[in-house]
């Protein structure tokens, strides 16, 4: 069932939309953790470190995919808020076409750059083979990730956050079964963990699309819906590409961090790998909240309810602060037992390093919450290009901390690199959000319209026939276009 986030109490709407996303994110992290647990417990600590050493590259690739598909869906959510069904179909069709082309390009680029990147990051010789076997498998199956994320993003854009959860749970269960089949049954090593992920995502993506087309008539695209002027495709790319690059910029900072980490030895890499899995799990409530804020902002922007956006974002930040405290308590309590799940016969040194890392991250979760809330709000209203500046700030802060603090303070310097990046990004995002929302609301009020925006993209609109056409020369709509 789709949900209209332009009506009702913002706090309640965002909260209930966030919960299924959060549960889904947790399941996604759990089956990623199970990959690591099985690898660490059945193969070796070196294999676990090898898989962990691919984290930055994996985030570079998969993060780009997630940002791209989420960006395409922002356009869909704006059209949904504007109640333009023909526009929704054309947006979905355009997203499918763009995703097909980009998945082919990304697959070959990622496959042939994996080993050079691992060497550039100075991955230790004793784990680089494991790293390559795992990540190249993920790269070959990249299309599965593209279309699974696209289907999930489109459904969320329409206000349905429950269906992606169902298919994510299915994917998680399949992934666990395939892990045992490939790693233990077929003795395929770390590559088996990669193939288990690819196969489970493929089946889940197929199921998600079949359900979407059968259940929601508004999603049933025809050949004519792919025939749009270049401007319409460019509008999707204008939001999707900056969002994708935002992830990539962050990933580059993580690669610098991983490079500094690799110099400290396999034991420390293994401790970091285990701790980062726990850290990722603790962050999922914040990530889910950010996804909800993007959809909420997109729908309300399409409906022209700008004041409602501001209210919802403020209440979301309060939710984020509460989630940050809960996540901090989680990592403090679970640091040792969860680390022991990943590392076979974990030494006291590994346990101590893992706990140190998680404490540093946990204390600064509120800064991370602000990134998710304000960045996604800006992306939801179509200002995703601005968030790249915040991403660049993260890159600089994380890189400087990794290079210099790791040199001076060792592992503690690595622990501080992400929090410093979060705080740096927050400074820009907070200023950008409040300045832009002030201008948007002020101009909208000056126009004298309560719900002034239907579907406005610069000075063009998607007409009811789905074609790109100039806005009608109606004074009220003209004032609205000028206000945005």
Please check whether residue 144 lies inside any domain of the structure.
yes
Please check whether residue 393 lies inside any domain of the structure.
yes
Q: Is the pLDDT reported for residue 480 higher than 60?
A: no
For residue 254, name the pLDDT band (cuts at 50, 70, 90). low
Secondary structure of the chain as H, E, C letters: CCCCCCCCCHHHHHHHHHHHHHHHHHHHHHHHHHHHHHHHHHCCHHHHHHHHCCHHHHHHHHHHHHHHHHHHHHHHHHHHHCCCHHHHHHHHHHHHHHHHHHHHHHHHHHHHHHHHHHHHCCCCHHHHHHHHHHHHHHHHCHHHHHHHHHHHHHHHHCCCCHHHHHHHHHHHHHHHHHHHHHHHHCCCHHHHHHHHHHHHHHHHHHHHHHHHHHHCHHHCCCHHHHCCCHHHHHHHHHHHHHHHHHHHHHHHHHHHHHHHHHCCCHHHHHHHHHHHHHHHHHCHHHHHHHHHHHHHHHHHHHCCCHHHHHHHHHHHHHHHHHHHHHHHHHHHHHHHHHHHHHCCCCCHHHHHHHHHHHHHHHHCHHHHHHHHHHHHHHHHCCCHHHHHHHHHHHHHHHHHHHHHHHHHHCHHHHHHHHHHHHHHHHHHHHHHHHHHHHHHHHHHHHHCCCCCCCCCECCEEECCCCCEEECCCCHHHHHHHHHC
For residue 478, name the pLDDT band (cuts at 50, 70, 90). very low
Q: Looking at residue 450, what is its pLDDT?
A: 44
Please give the Cα distance from 145 to 166 (Å, whole number): 16
Q: Tens of pLDDT along 71-124? A: 888 788 878 777 777 888 888 888 889 889 888 888 888 888 888 877 777 777
Q: Looking at residue 205, what is its pLDDT?
A: 85
Please check whether residue 5 lies inside any domain of the structure.
no
Domain that holds residue 436: 10-483
Please check whether residue 147 lies inside any domain of the structure.
yes
For the chain, the C-alpha Rg in angstroms (whole number) is 22
* Greater model confidence, 478 or 18: 18
* Greater model confidence, 277 or 55: 277
Please check whether residue 4 lies inside any domain of the structure.
no
Q: Looking at residue 403, what is its pLDDT?
A: 72
Please check whether residue 107 lies inside any domain of the structure.
yes
Please check whether residue 258 lies inside any domain of the structure.
yes
Q: Looking at residue 4, what is its pLDDT?
A: 67
Please give the Cα distance from 129 to 147 (Å, whole number): 29
For residue 352, name the pLDDT band (cuts at 50, 70, 90). confident
What would the mean pLDDT of 54-72 be, rounded to a whole number? Answer: 78
What mean pLDDT value characterizes the chain? 76
What would the mean pLDDT of 293-298 be, rounded to a whole number? Answer: 84
Q: Count of domains in the chain?
A: 1
Q: Name the pTM for this structure.
A: 0.68
Q: Tens of pLDDT along 188-233? A: 777 777 788 888 888 888 888 888 888 888 888 888 888 888 888 8
Please check whether residue 323 lies inside any domain of the structure.
yes
What would the mean pLDDT of 157-179 be, rounded to a whole number? Answer: 81
């Amino acid at each position: 069932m789709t949900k209209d986030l332009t009506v009702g109490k913002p706090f309640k709407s965002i909260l209930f939309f966030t919960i299924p996303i959060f549960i889904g994110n947790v399941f996604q992290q759990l089956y990623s953790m199970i990959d690591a647990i099985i690898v660490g417990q059945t193969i070796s600590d070196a294999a676990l470190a090898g898989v962990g050493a691919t984290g930055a590259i994996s985030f570079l690739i998969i993060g780009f995919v997630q940002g791209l598909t989420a960006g395409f869906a922002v356009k869909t959510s704006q059209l949904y808020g504007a109640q333009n069904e023909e526009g929704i179909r054309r947006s979905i069709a355009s997203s499918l076409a763009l995703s097909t082309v980009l998945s082919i390009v990304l697959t070959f680029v990622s496959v042939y750059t994996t080993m050079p990147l691992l060497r550039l990051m100075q991955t230790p010789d004793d784990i680089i083979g494991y790293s390559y076997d795992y990540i190249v498998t993920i790269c070959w199956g990249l299309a599965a990730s593209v279309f699974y994320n696209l289907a999930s993003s489109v459904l969320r854009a329409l206000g349905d956050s429950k269906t992606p959860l169902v298919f994510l749970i299915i994917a998680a269960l399949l992934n666990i079964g395939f892990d045992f089949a490939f790693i233990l049954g077929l003795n395929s090593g770390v590559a088996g963990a990669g193939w288990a992920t690819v196969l489970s995502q493929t089946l889940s993506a197929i199921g998600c699309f079949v359900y979407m087309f059968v259940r929601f008539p508004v999603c049933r695209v025809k050949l004519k819906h792919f025939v749009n002027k270049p401007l319409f495709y460019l509008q999707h790319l204008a939001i999707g590409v900056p969002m994708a690059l935002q992830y990539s910029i962050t990933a580059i900072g993580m690669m610098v961090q991983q490079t500094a980490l690799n110099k400290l030895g396999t034991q420390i890499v293994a401790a970091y790998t285990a701790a980062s899995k726990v850290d990722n799990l603790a962050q999922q409530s914040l990530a889910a909240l950010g996804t909800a804020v993007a959809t909420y902002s997109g729908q309300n922007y399409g409906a022209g309810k700008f004041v409602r956006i501001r209210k919802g974002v403020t209440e979301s930040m309060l939710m984020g602060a509460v989630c940050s405290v809960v996540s901090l308590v989680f990592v403090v309590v679970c640091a040792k037992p969860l680390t022991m799940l990943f590392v076979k016969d974990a030494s006291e040194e590994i346990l101590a390093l893992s706990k140190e890392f998680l404490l540093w991250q946990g204390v600064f979760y509120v800064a991370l919450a602000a990134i998710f809330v304000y960045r996604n709000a800006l992306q939801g209203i179509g200002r995703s290009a601005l968030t790249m500046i915040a991403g660049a700030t993260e890159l600089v802060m994380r890189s400087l901390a990794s290079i210099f603090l790791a040199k001076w303070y060792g592992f503690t310097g690595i622990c501080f690199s992400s929090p410093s990046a979060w705080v740096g990004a927050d400074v820009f995002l907070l200023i950008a959000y409040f300045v832009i929302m002030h201008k948007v609301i002020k101009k909208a009020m000056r126009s004298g319209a309560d719900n002034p925006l239907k579907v406005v993209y610069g000075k063009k609109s998607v007409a009811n026939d789905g074609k790109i056409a100039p806005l009608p020369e109606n004074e009220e709509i003209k004032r609205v276009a000028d206000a945005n």
